[in-house]
Amino acid sequence: MEERKAKGAIVNGYFKLIKRRWGIQGVTEAMKYANIGTQPKDGEWFSMEKTDRVLEWIAKNKGTDYVREAGKYTAKDLGIFRYLIASIVGIERFLKKAEETYETMFNFGKIKIKIDEKTAVVELKGVRVTEYSCIAWEGALLGIMEVTKSHGAVTPLEPGGPEDCRFFMKWD
């Protein structure tokens, strides 16, 4: 099986949160823990195993709530132009676009989103690398709600398999 990879922007989003919360010392510790020599460029493919080791460092040293915050922070780290566009198009169109473009950020797994009126079920198949993966995805969905200025909640659901994550989203 091919190594699971994500664009460097994912792990770099985690590092930005770490730096904001715990300074460069936190980034240095997380990089050492994950065996990362240098931060990748945002657009290059990067090991998902090492990316999830950064989440593991956050969970073990700061708590799982910060793993959720890291996912949220990464989803919100879109730049001001994309943030403005997301707030204009709304959450439904943003979620449809996320389903279409998932493979531009990850070389594994897939995302399926069923959208109804002001709700969605988000199924991520084959995305769980560690026990922290789904927590980070929950945070990312919360970040998407924030970016689109949607008020609501994200509730974890029973996954379809051991490598899956499922969520119910509701907004007003």
Sign of torsion over alpha carbons 46, 47, 52, 57: negative
Query: Predicted confidence band at 24 (pLDDT cuts at 50, 70, 90)?
Result: very high
Q: What is the pLDDT of residue 80?
A: 45
CB 11, CB 46: distance < 8 Å: yes
CB proximity list for 162: less than 8 A, separation 6 or greater: 128
pLDDT per position as a tens digit, 98-130:
888 899 999 999 999 999 999 999 999 999 988
Looking at the predicted structure, is the pLDDT value of residue 1 above 70? no
- Sequence ranges of the domains in the chain: 5-75, 90-171
Sign of torsion over alpha carbons 62, 64, 66, 70: positive
Span 159-168, average pLDDT: 94
Mean pLDDT of the chain: 91
Q: Does domain 90-171 have CATH number 3.30.1360?
A: yes
Looking at the predicted structure, is the pLDDT value of residue 64 above 80? yes
CA 129 – CA 163 distance, rounded (Å): 7
